[in-house]
Structure 1
Amino acid sequence: METNNIANETTFSPSLLNADALLEHWQGHRRLTRKAIEAFPEEHFYTFSIGGMRTFAQLSMEIIGLSAPGIRGIAFGDWTFGEPALDHSTPAPPTKQEVLNLWDLVTEYIETLWPQISTERFHQTEAAFGMYPNTILNTLLYLIDNEIHHRAQGYVYLRALGVEPPAFWER
């Protein structure tokens, strides 16, 4: 009698990316976006726009405003924006340095909460912010993709202003 080993082969699924590598990937993107914010001329950070898109200050605040409650939701299932409300529509503080300071606080918050996320948590399904049902992993990938998208808008702005954006591979 012949034994079928296909079932054993299909149930084996090697991990291609562990939680620490995923965090490093996200933080690498955050480091690169921070460099793009730093490169942006202060006098254009709050005002420059192309084709009706939001300013890079507004886009940066969206990333900040989703990342902080996003990591809290990922870690604990608390998808509220909290008090004071810091969400994607929060106005930017008056200086680019203050935006960078907020960026750094969120980065530290991510580093603090990340070790509290179990591997099993990434496979759970929840409605992020009460609206977007998906696995925690896919929600995290959305947060990263959203940041990349908005950083790319910032790169277009930088080039239009005659500023060379940071090399995208130097994360």
Structure 2
Amino acid sequence: MEHNILSSQQLLEHWQGHRRLTRRVIEAFPEDQLFTFSVGGMRPFAELAVEMLLMGVPGIKGVLTGKWKQLVEDNQTQKKEPPRTKDALLQRWDEATAEMDALWPQIPAQRFQETDVAFEMYEGQVYWFILYWIDNEIHHRGQGYVYLRALGIEPPPFWER
């Protein structure tokens, strides 16, 4: 007999906890360094945050609808016009958070176990896509921690989500 470990709502709350922490990392950056500072050839943290935005809401929309083509095109458009200030990035982050919270409950429970092709490139089970998006955020937030420490700024405690 199979038992669920997490409910759908618990998984969303886990992800949103990571998103709250990532938001605090964005806030910790000085405005000028958020868009320019990097270490070892890695992208500036603002670019990493935009990548996270391009996975979150578009990913949930794909999970919900099974339609990924439009999401790929939308992402290409968004990449051309990234936020240019910390306030604009934080505003987009907050808008995405609210949209994720609104869309998530509409996902049917069985959808998480279905196989799909996310963003017309990645085949797998839907729950795996979501776990990947969370892992990707944690990975990039770790880069942000390195940047903040290199700038002499103490990052927020990782356990406070």
Give the TM-score normalised by structure 2: 0.94
Pairing 1:2-81 to 2, within 5 Å after superposition: 12-81=1-70
What percentage of aligned pairs have identical amino acids?
52
Name 2:158's counterpart in structure 1. 168
SS at match of 1:92: coil
Runs of 4+ in structure 1 displaced over 4 angstroms? 81-84
Q: Work out the CA distance in 2 between the residues paired with 1:81 and 1:47.
A: 30
Task: Identify unmatched segments of 5+ residues in structure 2.
Answer: none
SS at match of 1:86: helix
Matched AA of 2:131 = L
Structure with higher Rg: it is 1
Q: Work out the CA distance in 1 between the residues paired with 2:135 and 2:160.
A: 17
Q: Work out the CA distance in 2 between the residues paired with 1:81 and 1:150.
A: 25
Name 1:98's counterpart in structure 2. 88
Which structure's relative contact order is higher, taking Cα pairs within 8 Å and 6+ residues apart? 2
Sort the Cα spacing of 1:26 and 1:133 in 2 relative to 1 into closer, same or farther, 3 A.
same
Task: Identify unmatched segments of 5+ residues in structure 1.
Answer: 1-11
Q: Work out the CA distance in 1 between the residues paired with 2:127 and 2:80.
A: 26
Name 1:4's counterpart in structure 2. none
Contact 2:71 2:119 in 1 (8 A): no
Name 1:149's counterpart in structure 2. 139
Aligned residue pairs, count:
160
Sort the Cα spacing of 1:59 and 1:119 in 2 relative to 1 into closer, same or farther, 3 A.
same
Q: Work out whether 1:109 is the aligned partner of 2:99.
A: yes
Matched AA of 2:33 = H
RMSD of aligned Cα (Å)? 1.6
Deviation at 1:92, TM superposition (A): 2.7
Deviation at 1:55, TM superposition (A): 0.3
Matched AA of 2:105 = P
Deviation at 1:78, TM superposition (A): 2.0
SS at match of 1:127: strand
Give the TM-score normalised by structure 1: 0.88
Name 1:7's counterpart in structure 2. none
Deviation at 1:108, TM superposition (A): 0.8
Matched AA of 1:140 = I
